[in-house]
Structure 1
Amino acid sequence: MNPPTVTPAPTEPAAPSPSVATTDGVYSTESVRTARERSAVLEQQIAADPSRFRVLTGERPTGALHLGHLIGTVDNRVRLQAQGVEIFLIVADYQVITDRDVAGDLPAVVREVLLDYLAAGIDPEATTIFTHSAVPALNQLLLPFLSLVTVAELERNPTVKAETAAAEKRGRRGMSGLMFTYPVHQAADILFCHANLVPVGQDQLPHLEITRTVARRFNYRYAADRPYFPEPDALIVPAPTILGNDGAKMSKSAGNALEIRASEDETVAFVKKAKTDSERHITYEPDRRPEIANLLTIGAHFAGTTPEALAESVGTAGAGRLKQVVTEALVEGLRPMRARRAEAAAHGPEYLHDLLARGNARANEIADSTLDDVRDLMRMTY
């Protein structure tokens, strides 16, 4: 299958991208502004002709998806899918063991994640859902791609730096080789299917820069006359940090998350326990009043309004009224998702198995073709 039309990549290995990172892996304000301006143009192009784009997105299957996933990433995938953009959705099971000694019960977790995708509105007929471990050719691209980056470049990656600091703080074993090479594995995820668009938050821009670097250097070294890999663009999407009911970032491991699969009673209890403050007048001030702002963000997302408008509607009625409004919006917003999830689960495990098998088959077909092309370009076909 032919990849979507893309703009040819530059052929100079040192050519800077329009969103180049600094040496410590942090983007400058100017670079972020440039990336945001580019994203606005991309949104216009998507609206005009979605067939030009192929998106790669996904996450590690570390547990059932929760409200933070839904608002932060999943709903945006559903939006792009509805616009007609081709999406490859990776369940990155190999990445679970980047920072774990054991993978846990991955089959059970993957099933729950698939049900959550279906609940949110992901359509497996329109979106290709697949797993890392089921696509050998994708993972084999890691070897030639590793030859295109330096150790210093990997060490500057924010994820690698953060994991190094976290491991030292926890006194755990040293960072695994898989974690260290994670940015290049991510490049293989994106480039195997010739994705030319990756939805990210602005804090994830340095991650995508490694992929752009790999594509640019591969093209220069092996396909200078006719660049083979696109340099994927970042589509910066609003990705608010959703807090749990304890005021900390929502996380399953922290026990403060509301899962998509939660019951109506659990949803009501979650909001009831949410932290607020003592001020009677409800205002949207994320820096000064993060807990109130979080409830406004959640409520507005499901009510189809803005946090500012929701705050104005509550006014001086206080946190009790705010929680009532947010609860109502959440319950109504999640009701159709719970219905879709229950319907999918009722089909039994064979349904999910077949769904994933179809996605894996399509991903394998494309990955095999890409690997064959890479071998030919590297003159490694014997």
Structure 2
Amino acid sequence: MSRIGVRSFGGVDDPPGDPVNTTVLPAPVPSAVTADARVRSAALEEEVRRSPGRFRVLTGDRPTGRLHLGHYFGTLHNRVRLQDLGVELFVIVADYQVLTDRDVADDLPGHVEELVLDHLAIGVDPARSTIFTHSAVPALNQLMLPFLSLVSVAELNRNPTVKDEIAHSRQSAVSGLMFTYPVHQAADILFCKANLVPVGQDQLPHLEVTRTIARRFNARYGDGVFPEPEALLSDAPLLLGTDGTKMSKSRGNAVTLAADADETVRLIRGAKTDSERHIAYDPVRRPEVSSLLLLAALCQGRTPVEVADGIGSGGAAALKRTVAEAVNEHLAPIRARRAAYARDRAHLREVLREGNERARAVADATLAEVRTVMNSRY
């Protein structure tokens, strides 16, 4: 629930501030923790396949721009997969969280609509899944207050992902919203009692805060109110942007889902490669070439080595032509659906209205239960 990049749920959102120095990474999760999480995640995948109806997933993104191929292969297609398996899916458009590392939310209504468009185009079905905006669910945000009482300042300060986010924030000073982001995310997850959260390993510390809050709330006020959500770890492929750095919304180095075929060709034609004519998959020595091969392979359902073998000594021009054709063919039906939905903006607003109503009903019920066990219903 987003690399997951640090700003999305199990997704691949841009890091705060879009730092130019892409070698700076979040503090690593201890390998033993990651290994245990991967073992448990594999077991959860089997459980999902056997009994999808037992699971409720909360995932989503901040509306800060159009989603791109990195988002699509990193997390979006997995959301549709889980939905189609029969898992109950909640997709949060985290508009409040845009302000965690920005002073203002630029063109928020437009970005929200673009995010909804992208989800509908890839196959998220509002009849089976709930798409809603953060700000439209007041009861969700009311959970922040009791949740904040369950964690210490020291615990929040130790969170490695928060420390990295603060280090690369666009703001001149750290806001309270930025500092308490893991608790805000806990409210997002627990308001609907999600028990499964798709994440990348860099988001494990955030999810552990959510688990801690659920555990402490249950111990203090009433056992069984909140589940301790588990991590469904993603193996999101690392796709570089066309400039050879991390693919990002704001750098102009990504192919968005909304781009047309000609724009896609233009962007990929300008992608950074290297001077070697023979095309080979070697992520360590030839990262830019290998990223393009991986992109074509993902679109074609092949391995990067197979794509490279088919190009051989054709050079960068043949590589880019292969990638552009693969991307355009793969995205053609998605773009057609997106264009159709874009022509009916009233439908987009109706999707959000119905999703907001559903989310509010769930949040109101959860908050009522919380008030009851906290003995604060008057």
Distance 1:248 1:146 in 2: 37
Q: 16, 27, 38: which is aligned to 2:40? A: 38
Residue of structure 2 in register with 1:294 after alignment: 291
Distance 2:166 2:334 in 1: 38
Distance 1:268 1:114 in 2: 25
Distance 1:235 1:165 in 2: 27
Indicate if the aligned counterparts of 1:272 and 1:323 stay in contact, CA closer than 8 A.
yes
Identity %: 61
Q: Which amino acid aligns with 1:298?
A: L
1:326 correspondence with 2:323: yes
SS of the residue 1:277 aligns to:
coil
1:209 correspondence with 2:208: yes
Residue of structure 2 in register with 1:115 after alignment: 117
Residue of structure 2 in register with 1:88 after alignment: 90
Q: 234, 258, 269: which is aligned to 2:231? A: 234
Q: Which amino acid aligns with 2:101?
A: D
Distance 1:238 1:93 in 2: 26
Q: Which amino acid aligns with 1:363?
A: A
Can you give the 5+ residue segments of structure 2 that lack an aligned partner in the other structure?
A: 1-25
Aligned residues: 353
SS of the residue 2:92 aligns to:
strand
Distance 2:252 2:68 in 1: 11
Indicate if the aligned counterparts of 1:55 and 1:195 stay in contact, CA closer than 8 A.
yes
Residue of structure 1 in register with 2:9 after alignment: none
Q: 352, 358, 361: which is aligned to 1:356? A: 352
Say what the alpha-carbon RMSD is for the aligned residues: 1.5
Change (3 A) 1:114 1:196: same
CA deviations over 1:96-125 (Å, ceiling 9, x no partner): 111111112211111111111111111111
Indicate if the aligned counterparts of 2:67 and 2:257 stay in contact, CA closer than 8 A.
yes
Distance 2:265 2:279 in 1: 20
Residue of structure 1 in register with 2:63 after alignment: 61
Distance 1:156 1:315 in 2: 49
Residue of structure 1 in register with 2:366 after alignment: 370
SS of the residue 2:162 aligns to:
helix
CA deviations over 1:257-292 (Å, ceiling 9, x no partner): 211100110011111111111223322222221101
* Residue 26 (structure 1) shift: 4.1
Within a 5 Å distance, the mapping from 1:172-191 to structure 2 comes to 172-191=171-190
Distance 1:208 1:100 in 2: 23
Residue of structure 2 in register with 1:18 after alignment: none
* Residue 27 (structure 1) shift: 2.0
* Residue 315 (structure 1) shift: 3.1
CA deviations over 1:344-376 (Å, ceiling 9, x no partner): 1122x2111111000000000000000010111
Residue of structure 2 in register with 1:13 after alignment: none
Q: Which amino acid aligns with 1:269?
A: R
Q: 23, 27, 30: which is aligned to 2:29? A: 27
* Residue 81 (structure 1) shift: 1.2
Q: 228, 243, 247: which is aligned to 1:246? A: 243
Instruction: Output the TM-score relative to the length of structure 1.
Output: 0.89
* Residue 40 (structure 1) shift: 1.0
SS of the residue 1:316 aligns to:
coil
Distance 2:225 2:357 in 1: 23
Distance 2:92 2:220 in 1: 28
Q: Which amino acid aligns with 1:353?
A: R
Distance 1:229 1:314 in 2: 53
Distance 1:296 1:84 in 2: 33
Distance 2:312 2:53 in 1: 45
Which segment is superposed worse, 123-132 or 305-314?
305-314
Distance 2:144 2:132 in 1: 18
Distance 1:358 1:365 in 2: 11
SS of the residue 2:342 aligns to:
helix
Can you give the 5+ residue segments of structure 1 that lack an aligned partner in the other structure?
A: 1-23
* Residue 93 (structure 1) shift: 0.1
Distance 1:233 1:311 in 2: 38
Could you list the runs of 4 or more consecutive aligned residues of structure 1 that deviate by over 3 angstroms after TM superposition? Answer: none
Q: Which amino acid aligns with 2:353?
A: A
1:379 correspondence with 2:375: yes
Distance 1:140 1:26 in 2: 32
